């Protein structure tokens, strides 16, 4: 299956943009060409099997004057967004026999938008499509018109490119960023010194929009609207979201605040992408240092498309706010743990290390209403001076941090995927809600059982410590990670489990110290007053067993431990911790 977009020029000697997507929404071809022969030769290889070809050009025109019904109907919805269609009638010589219809006939395409044929042609229009897809308050001004500067055209064309790239995470995804031709188009826009250079890019970007609308019409027919009909002519476009309103027309020379915010965010976002990576690294480091067990820490920067969809509503409720500073989810972090008590441990740690301005336990809120459903801990946090030094690109901006267990995450992702795609008929909604509620209750029970399983396994390990006199073996002197995990469970019965990979990591440090048996390790630990050490360090939550061993080895070996090659990445952290061990007890 292929989806072809054709931004058809009015004349045979002017360039036409053509883009081709595969069934998964990956861009496989984008170019400009001149004349019908070149267009047919280019697209024919992609039309050997099932296909939908979307033309940005009239296909069916029968009225001698004025608008078609399609234009009149579409304009009632989109003219206020500056996305109305120009009149199409047979009084225009080029529409007596529409070029798009002739190409459709040559390619063997059915032009009926409601046809079930495997080879179809559609008439589409990029301007209303972008308004509906990205909730734009008004159309982007990337088309060459008198009075528009090179910089205005460049800015809005780059913005459209970023909005389209943002569809990679949509429920009907579009994948552009990995295609060499697309990257070349974006680079051309960034370096263009003349408007004519942008004109060639504009045709191809419009063709990509057309191809995406073709895919949407095929894969998500419930999300498109057909204006007009096959008898008098039609235009197919993504459906205008209910209640979506245009931005107020700004008095010159003032700018539309929504459009200005979107443009500003498009310029800012490249700096926020590494900022999100810095935050992930910082939070991962905090969790590792604290010895908290977790599965993953991931981050994302809000796409331009997602920002554009939200900023209008944000400014409607807070017109004097600064979206780039005050929208709290431009950077989002997600921490996934194994059991629920680790969710609390992560939240406690982040309260200690960051400036947390809001903390909502959505699972508790749901439970307080006597329901089962979405469960997640949501923190809004800023970074203090020390943390900001590690994340300079974040600055004073708030970061949204979600903390949930693996099972809570699975439920939330599946529920979002199903509801977002809107694939469930309305008559089945109540049954769907009941089944999601049942699944949420079962997963909450499973979460509790996993915690119980973990506690009982730890208790068993405490009661059945490994034989410290067991022969490790001459061939490999290392204490294995499973042996170390079982040993530490007995040594630190009040500590939580640590991440699986951390046991292997600290086993390497133990070997660097020349310790090759559990008996030797037990003797080192026995010399440390763990109660006094805990008082000096002031643990504020149940610390993992690996962190407890890490502290014991630091207390036992001091600078020698800091200097181990396996600790090269955290010399400063260990030096600070060693100084705290030498100081007075820490108050909790």
Q: What is the pLDDT of residues 515-574, one digit of tens each?
A: 988 888 888 888 888 878 887 777 766 678 888 898 899 989 999 999 999 898 888 888
The residue that leads in pLDDT, 147 or 106, is 106
CA dist., res. 107 & res. 101, Å (int): 10
pLDDT at 474: 46
- Between 83-87, 148-152, 458-462, the lowest mean confidence (pLDDT) is in 458-462
pLDDT at 426: 63
Interval 426-446 mean pLDDT: 68
The residue that leads in pLDDT, 584 or 279, is 279
pLDDT at 175: 92
pLDDT at 465: 52
The DSSP line for 299-350 is EEE--HHHHHHHHHHHHHH-TTS-HHHH-TTSEEEEEEESSHHHHHHHHHHH
Selection from 152, 167, 267 nearest residue 198 by Cα: 152
- Between 105-114, 468-477, 517-526, 570-579, the lowest mean confidence (pLDDT) is in 468-477
Structure tokens at 157: 């064309």
The 3-state DSSP class for residue 5 equals strand
H/E element, 8: none
Cβ neighbours of residue 302 under 8 Å, at least 6 residues apart? 269, 272, 327, 329, 330, 331, 332
Instruction: Band the pLDDT of 2: cuts 50, 70, 90.
Output: very high
pLDDT at 455: 64
Alpha helices per DSSP H over 108-194: 126-134, 150-165, 180-191
CB atoms within 10 A of CB 320: 6
Interval 164-176 mean pLDDT: 88
pLDDT at 473: 47
pLDDT in tens, 212-253: 999 999 999 999 999 999 999 999 999 998 888 887 765 554
For residue 262, what are the CA distances in angstroms to 138, 251, 304, 506? Answer: 12, 19, 7, 47
- Between 118-122, 293-297, 436-440, the lowest mean confidence (pLDDT) is in 436-440
Dihedral (CA of 60, 61, 63, 68) sign: positive
Residue 299 has pLDDT above 80, yes or no: yes
Instruction: Band the pLDDT of 351: cuts 50, 70, 90.
Output: confident
- Between 329-343, 456-470, 536-550, the lowest mean confidence (pLDDT) is in 456-470
Interval 259-284 mean pLDDT: 85
Residue 471 has pLDDT above 70, yes or no: no
Residue 52 has pLDDT above 90, yes or no: yes
Residue 114 has pLDDT above 80, yes or no: yes
CB atoms within 10 A of CB 324: 17
Average pLDDT, the chain: 82
> Percentage helix, strand, coil, to 5, in the chain?
55, 15, 30
End-to-end CA distance of the chain: 63
Q: Which residue has the tokens 């929404």?
A: 25
Task: Confirm if 404 and 412 have CB atoms less than 8 A apart.
Answer: yes
pLDDT at 397: 76
pLDDT at 239: 93
β-strand pairing of 331-337 with 296-301: antiparallel
């Amino acid at each position: 299956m292929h989806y072809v977009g054709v931004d058809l020029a009015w004349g045979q000697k002017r360039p036409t943009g053509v883009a081709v997507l595969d069934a998964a929404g990956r861009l496989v071809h984008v170019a400009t060409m001149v004349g019908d022969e070149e267009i047919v030769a280019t697209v024919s290889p992609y039309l050997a099997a099932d296909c939908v070809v979307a033309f940005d050009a009239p296909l069916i025109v029968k009225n001698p004057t004025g608008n078609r019904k399609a234009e009149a109907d579409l304009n009632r919805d989109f003219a206020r967004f500056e996305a109305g269609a120009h009149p199409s009638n047979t009084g225009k010589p080029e529409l007596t026999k529409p070029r798009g219809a002739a190409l459709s006939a040559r390619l063997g395409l059915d032009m009926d938008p409601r046809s079930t044929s495997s080879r179809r042609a559609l008439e589409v229009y990029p301007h209303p499509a972008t308004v509906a897809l990205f909730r734009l308050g008004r159309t982007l001004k990337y088309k060459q018109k008198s009075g528009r500067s090179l910089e205005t055209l460049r800015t809005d064309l780059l913005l459209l490119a970023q909005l389209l790239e943002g569809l990679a995470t949509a429920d009907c995804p579009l994948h552009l960023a990995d295609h060499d031709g697309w990257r070349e188009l974006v680079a051309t826009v960034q370096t263009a010194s003349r408007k004519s250079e942008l004109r060639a890019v504009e045709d191809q970007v419009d063709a990509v929009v057309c191809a995406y609308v073709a895919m949407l019409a095929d894969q998500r027919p419930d999300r498109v609207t057909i204006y007009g009909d096959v008898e008098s002519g039609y235009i197919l476009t993504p459906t205008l979201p209910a209640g979506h309103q245009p931005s107020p027309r700004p008095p010159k020379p003032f700018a539309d605040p929504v459009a200005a915010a979107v443009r500003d965010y498009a310029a800012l976002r490249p700096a926020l992408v590494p900022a999100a990576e810095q935050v992930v690294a910082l939070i991962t480091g905090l969790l590792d240092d604290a010895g908290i067990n977790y599965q993953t820490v991931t981050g994302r920067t809000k796409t331009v498309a997602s920002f554009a969809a939200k900023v209008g509503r944000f400014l409607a409720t807070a017109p004097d706010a600064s979206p780039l500073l005050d929208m709290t989810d431009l950077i989002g972090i997600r921490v996934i743990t194994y059991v629920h008590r680790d969710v609390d441990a992560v939240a406690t740690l982040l309260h200690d290390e960051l400036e947390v301005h809001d903390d909502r336990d959505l699972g508790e809120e749901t439970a307080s209403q006597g329901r089962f459903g979405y469960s997640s801990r949501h923190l809004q946090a800023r970074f203090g001076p020390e943390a900001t030094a590690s994340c300079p690109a974040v600055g004073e901006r708030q970061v949204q941090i979600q903390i949930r267990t693996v099972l809570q995450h699975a439920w939330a992702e599946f529920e979002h995927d199903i509801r977002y795609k809107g694939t469930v008929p309305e008559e089945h909604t109540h049954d769907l809600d009941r089944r999601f509620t049942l699944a949420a209750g079962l997963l909450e029970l499973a979460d509790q059982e996993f915690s119980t399983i973990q506690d009982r396994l730890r208790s068993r390990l405490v009661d059945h410590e490994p034989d410290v006199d067991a022969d490790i073996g001459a061939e490999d002197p290392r204490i294995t990670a499973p042996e170390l995990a079982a040993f530490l469970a007995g040594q630190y019965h009040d500590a939580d489990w640590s991440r699986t990979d951390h046991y292997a990591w600290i086993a390497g440090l133990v070997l660097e110290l020349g310790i090759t048996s559990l008996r030797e390790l037990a003797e080192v630990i026995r010399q440390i007053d763990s109660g006094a050490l805990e008082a000096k360090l002031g643990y504020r939550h149940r610390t993992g067993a690996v962190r407890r061993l890490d502290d014991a080895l630091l207390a036992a070996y001091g600078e020698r431990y800091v200097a181990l090659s396996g600790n090269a990445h955290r010399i400063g952290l260990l030096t600070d911790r060693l100084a705290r061990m030498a100081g007075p007890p820490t108050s909790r």
